[in-house]
Amino acid sequence: MNLSQETIYHLIDAAIEARKKAYTPYSSYQVGAAVLTEDNQIITGANVKGGSFNLICCGERMALLKALFDGHRKFKAVVTVTNDGATPCGSCRQVIYELCQKAPIIVANIDRSYKIYNAQDLLPHAFEDPKTKSNTK
């Protein structure tokens, strides 16, 4: 899917705003995310990291889970914003692979510079259950 520069920056700005809502009292590492749904709604999320680091929700999964809860099943883009432009963690990559195989994954930092990936770039050997198929294939 080709996105306009204007749309990309609009999504990055939404993720930057979402990042401000992150709950990271111990790590101070904030992640904001935005997903663009098939009907052009923008759903955002931010990471929640408490004292037990295995009981967290990353920003990317937060945004996608909110979108799923609201009934969205197809996505045009996923954006993640960190202070250093880090790519999503392994768990987020798997969720992105399952839900957003055809959507561009835009990884940005807070100065709005970005790189565009696809799900296969980020997780070339993703788990796939042969009995099920991604809703974006």
Question: Where are the domains positioned within the chain?
Answer: 5-122
Identify the residue with better confidence: 49 or 53. Answer: 49
60 is catalytic: yes
Bridge partners of 116?
Answer: 106
- Cα 71 to Cα 20, 39, 43: the distances in Å are 25, 11, 12
CA distance 115 to 87: 10
Percentage of the chain beyond pLDDT 70 is: 93
Residue 42 clears pLDDT 80, i.e. is over it: yes
Instruction: Classify 5-122 by CATH class.
Output: alpha beta
pLDDT tens across 83-102, in order? Answer: 999 999 999 999 999 999 99
pLDDT in the model for residue 133: 58
Which member of 17, 38, 60, 98 is catalytic?
Answer: 60
The overall pTM is greater than 0.85: yes
Element (H, E) at 92: helix 90-99
